[in-house]
A = this chain, B = another copy of it.
Amino acid sequence: MSTDDGRPVLTARRLGIDSQHEAIAFVQQDCAACKSEGFSAHSRVLLKNGAAEIFATLHYVTSNLVGAEEIGLSEIAWKRLHLEGAETLTISHPAPLSSFADVRGKIFGQKLTENTARQIIDDIVHGRYSDIQLTAFVTACSARILDDDETIALTRAMVDSGSRLDWDASIIADKHCVGGLPGNRTTPIVVAIAAANGLTMPKTSSKAITSPAGTADTMSTITNVSLSLSDMKAVLTREQACFVWGGSVNFSPADDTLIRIQKALDLDSEGPLIASVLSKKIAAGATHLVIDIPVGPTAKVRSAEAAESLRQHFEAIAAHFDIKISVEITDGTQPVGRGIGPSLEARDVLAVLRNEANAPPELRDRACVLSGALLELTGAAKPAQGTQRARETLASGAANAHFEAICKAQGRLASPPVAEHQRAIIAPRPGRVARIDNRRLAKAAKLAGAPEDVAAGIDLHVYLGDAVAQGDALFTLHTQSPGELAYALDFIDANPGIVELTSP
């Protein structure tokens, strides 16, 4: 079968395979259409459905998984091609991916330029890179460390590849945490305090990729976070601030793709990290930015030296984009707040905003320090008075009033759901809390069901240095099903030192 222009065509078949960002196409091993084009296993091919065209990686099959004139598609391929039923597709060679020559150049020591970075990011955003091509780029940016000019070029390319918020305010406040610490859900509190102090803060946040919750997951238990850019603007007009899931407004769309590879390789580098963070802030129009870098042995940044280096580079790149920045290096040795998981973190956030007696003081203090830095940076508070101002804004109820108004403007102000099943993990003997393993704690919260089950996660009852008696609850698992409770318990049994007590 072939079309008028001689291109072979195949009938699309949805296989329901989640291949993440890389589109995969499956054809019979003796597929005439593919043979005629000279494709081999894992060739990159161009698939067209009318005006929609995508790059895909070809996999041959020797079974009847697809018919002789069929082409099976993974979910991302199906969606990018806007398919609905058994449409026919043409298959052909893609034009050479010229930007990959620049990736090869980078591997061999050439510098990224504004132009090459732009073309690479454009091809990534349009799904033209396979996973191994993405990996080569990600690895090259770690092995051949990006200098400031390259980081600037990459940042600008990432900004320009997506939407931008153009907002009529001389000061646009923003805040970011480089992550790695469970809980630490300061963002909603900082936004509320900033808004109550007259700042404009169009906050966009991410969902969890490998953690038990992102700010967007947490806020989704209280309000709607999937707003379009125009809905986001409407909320800003009314309340000067918002809590929006970044994925819905398309800021820096290459970022998720790159982060997925970086996480799979557990590969962090300063240049790509800074470009990732700043590109989203610039797209959101930020003029004043506070960065939280928690430092601890099981946090993302593990040494004071690494944090200091990261601070200096953040400052240099932000200065280039005319962003005023304040980098706060904070304690990352244990979780901040008690809840780990969307609902449990939301509960803590609400408790702090509502000045409840059981509100976690560490979360309140951390949020006030970061808010204070933002108030000082923007001139909303005098030097050295920001934290105190933030405390007063919280204590007066002004922050909570703004928080509730923003949520209502976003369409909903709900109470986060509570999990059906709860199980306390108790201290096997008396002692003091010597260490808390952030990574394994996060892992247990994920096994309990977070972030998909928003009510699932962990409620931590102790901090470093606390004295516990035998039988005291160290933390409580929250789950929505007995099965998940069992998975999490199995993991905790196999990892007894998640909360480690001093030797008897």
Contacts and interface: CB of A to CB of B under 8 A. Distances in A.
Interface of A: 6, 14-20, 26, 29, 32, 35-38, 40-42, 59-65, 75, 100, 104, 106-109, 130-136, 138-140, 142-144, 210, 261, 264-267, 443, 446-447, 483-484, 486-487, 490-491
Contacts of A491: 38
Interface centre among A17, A61, A108, A266 (most CB of B within 10 A): A17
Contacts of A16: 61-65
Nearest to A443: B38
Contacts of A41: 18, 20
B62 A18 contact: yes
B486 A36 contact: yes
A332 B63 CA distance: 42
16 contacts: A16-B61, A16-B62, A17-B60, A17-B63, A18-B29, A20-B41, A35-B484, A107-B142, A130-B264, A132-B135, A132-B264, A136-B138, A136-B265, A139-B140, A139-B143, A143-B143
Nearest to A138: B136
A26 B35 contact: no
A457 to B, nearest CB: 14
A135 to B, nearest CB: 4
A35 B483 contact: yes
Given A104-B266, A139-B139, 13 more contacts: A14-B63, A15-B65, A17-B65, A18-B61, A18-B62, A38-B446, A38-B491, A65-B65, A107-B267, A108-B143, A131-B135, A132-B264, A135-B135
A60 B20 CA distance: 10
Given A36-B483, A108-B142, A446-B38, A265 B59 contact: no
A136 B133 contact: no
Contacts of A446: 38
A27 to B, nearest CB: 10
Contact of A61 (B17, B20, B104, B487): B17
Nearest to A484: B35
Contacts of A109: 143
Contacts of A490: 6, 36
Contacts of A36: 483, 486-487, 490
A136 B491 CA distance: 30
A167 to B, nearest CB: 36
Contact of A267 (B42, B75, B136, B483): B136
Contacts of A144: 143
Nearest to A139: B139
Contact of A265 (B60, B133, B264): B133
A17 B72 CA distance: 11
Contacts of A134: 132
Interface centre among A37, A108, A264 (most CB of B within 10 A): A264
A72 to B, nearest CB: 9
B487 A38 contact: yes
A484 B131 CA distance: 31
A14 B483 CA distance: 29
A14 to B, nearest CB: 7
Q: Which 8 A-B pairs have the closest CB atoms?
A: A16-B63, A143-B143, A135-B135, A139-B139, A16-B62, A132-B135, A18-B60, A36-B487
A60 B18 CA distance: 5
A116 to B, nearest CB: 16
